[in-house]
Amino acid sequence: QVQLVESGGGVVQPGRSLRLSCVASGFIFSNYAVHWVRQAPGKGLEWVASISYDGGNKYYADSVKGRFTISRDNSKITVYLQMNSLRAEDTALYYCARGGGWYFFDHWGQGALVTVSS
Amino acid sequence: QSALTQPPSASGSPGQSVTISCTGTSSDVDDYNYVSWYQQHPGKAPKLMIYEVTKRPSGVPDRFSGSKSGNTASLTVSGLQAEDEADYYCTSYAGTNNYVFGTGTKVTVL
């Protein structure tokens, strides 16, 4: 079955960096786009970034543009989210999600918690 | 991009129907037939319930249905069951490879 497992979360000081990973299984990874979506504690969902099946196209929410970088290694069936210059408002549970088509998210991981605090 | 507007809460008795609205703008919901809906139980990851306004993934009960009129999309849950109690989020493609989520609705089964 389709599975996505995030890792790399933790507590980090403002201004520092963190890299999340999302390892996939149960499907042909190189055929699908992958997205990152986050959820601040007690809040709603917010789209963060997307990457096309081959890594050739990458898109970001305005709130993270210039600070976050999405990438993928299809040989390692993994998508990454490099987060730099972290702010308190980046504190959230970060989910990776498979793109069922380009316009929706059909399978989700369990999330990686990122806490930005001094 | 502002979040899509959903009512904070909705409720119904078992067997009844509940409809959740999702209001956007001419730049998202009204402009694209790419509205999807997600169910999220406490402490769990979201689950896709409806995509492309009206389509149901395999395994989602046909009690769940979606529709759209102008800049407002709707999710209807018919024949409410206890396990339908959850938070529900809509999302819409908003052009230029952006996505906007709704504010979320907590559905309570009375």
Dihedral sign, CA of A44, B51, A33, A3? Answer: positive
For chain B, how far is it from start to end, CA to CA, in angstroms? 35
Residue B31: per-residue pLDDT? 87
Q: Is the pLDDT of residue A40 over 80?
A: yes
Mean pLDDT value of segment A25-46: 96
Residue B61: per-residue pLDDT? 95
Amino acid present at B84: D
Alpha-carbon gap, residue B29 to B100, rounded angstroms: 9
Mean pLDDT, chain B, integer: 94
Task: Compare CB distances from A44 to B3, B47, B51 and report the shortest one's residue.
Answer: B3
Closest Cα in chain B, distance from residue A73 (Å): 21
Please indicate whether, in this complex, the C-beta atoms of A107 and B98 are within 8 angstroms of each other: no
Residue B22: per-residue pLDDT? 97
Q: What residues does A60 pair with on adjacent strands?
A: A49
- Say if A61 is an interface residue toward chain B (CB within 8 Å): yes
Q: Which chain B positions have a beta carbon within 8 Å of A106's beta carbon?
A: 48, 51, 57
Burial of residue A88 (CB within 10 Å: 0-12, 13-18, 19+) is exposed
Confidence of residue A91 (pLDDT cuts 50, 70, 90): very high
- Tokens 């904070």 map to which residue? B8
